[in-house]
Structure 1
Amino acid sequence: MTDTAALDIARRYFEAWSGGEFDRAMELVAADITCHSPAGLVVGAEAFRAFMGPFAGMAQSTSLLAAYGDRVNAVLVYNTATPAVPEAPGAEWHRIADGRIAELRIIFDRLPFDLARRGQDS
């Protein structure tokens, strides 16, 4: 493994889901992934697909703001535009094991999405 193996995998995952290729992104996810999300704990690839797939599907554009990592850990900071929220900044920490994302922590501000659901400006 290279010194940036985790970063390489995390970037490939990000580029796939943000580029409209969610199935390709899922190839980089471990079957027993543990995802810590603002909505709660998501365990297993199928549960993760059900959680992340709808968000990936509504993303209109993304921009990667920063990416850091080593052999095991990676951190990505990005912005996503959706039909409901024109600017949704987020961050993800990835732990890589056996060439796949074994653990993921997603951090984002839910308030703009809650306000959009209520028909209010952020």
Structure 2
Amino acid sequence: MTTTKTARELAETYFTAWEAGDFETVRGLLAEDVDFVGALGTASGIEEALGGLRGLGQVLEKIDVKARVADGDEVITWFELCTTVAPPAPTANWMHVENGRIARIRVTFDPRGLLAGFEKKS
């Protein structure tokens, strides 16, 4: 018997897998046509979304979740994005789930620290 994860469980698994660099698990959570909009760019479809997560994953140290709120198919996760190139960035992530998969992701944070860190790194 298979059980469908709740939106909250999907979000928890997504962040745990991303932090661990487990992109195959992340792939299994995303809808094929996932739509991502964030402070550093946009992605349409699973391959673009995974590409963006992998890119940021190269400097990701930790995702320090402060709070998670779920309401039906909507989940907001408030966390500090900790990287090797910038001070922790307070971040809000909203996800919408359809048919048991993450279909839409919106992320907002002040990207100036990360952008400066990337600039120094290159």
Q: TM-score, normalised by structure 1?
A: 0.85
Structure-2 residue corresponding to 1:32: 33
Structure-2 residue corresponding to 1:75: 76
For 2:10, the aligned partner's letter is I
Change (3 A) 1:40 1:86: closer
| 1:53 matched to 2:45 | no
| 1:102 matched to 2:97 | no
Number of aligned positions between the proteins: 118
- CA positional deviation for 1:10: 0.9
Mapped to 1, the partners of 2:44 and 2:84 lie a distance apart of: 28
Change (3 A) 1:47 1:118: closer
Gaps of 5+ in 1: none
- CA positional deviation for 1:109: 1.1
- CA positional deviation for 1:82: 1.3
Q: TM-score, normalised by structure 2?
A: 0.85
- CA positional deviation for 1:26: 1.8
For 1:88, the aligned partner's letter is A
Structure-2 residue corresponding to 1:12: 13
- CA positional deviation for 1:20: 2.5
- CA positional deviation for 1:12: 1.0
- CA positional deviation for 1:118: 4.4
For 2:61, the aligned partner's letter is Q
Mapped to 2, the partners of 1:115 and 1:61 lie a distance apart of: 19
Change (3 A) 1:118 1:49: closer
Mapped to 1, the partners of 2:56 and 2:118 lie a distance apart of: 14
- CA positional deviation for 1:19: 2.3
Mapped to 1, the partners of 2:22 and 2:111 lie a distance apart of: 24
Gaps of 5+ in 2: none
Question: Sequence identity of aligned pairs in percent?
Answer: 25
Task: Give the SS at the match of 1:84.
Answer: coil
Task: Give the SS at the match of 1:96.
Answer: strand
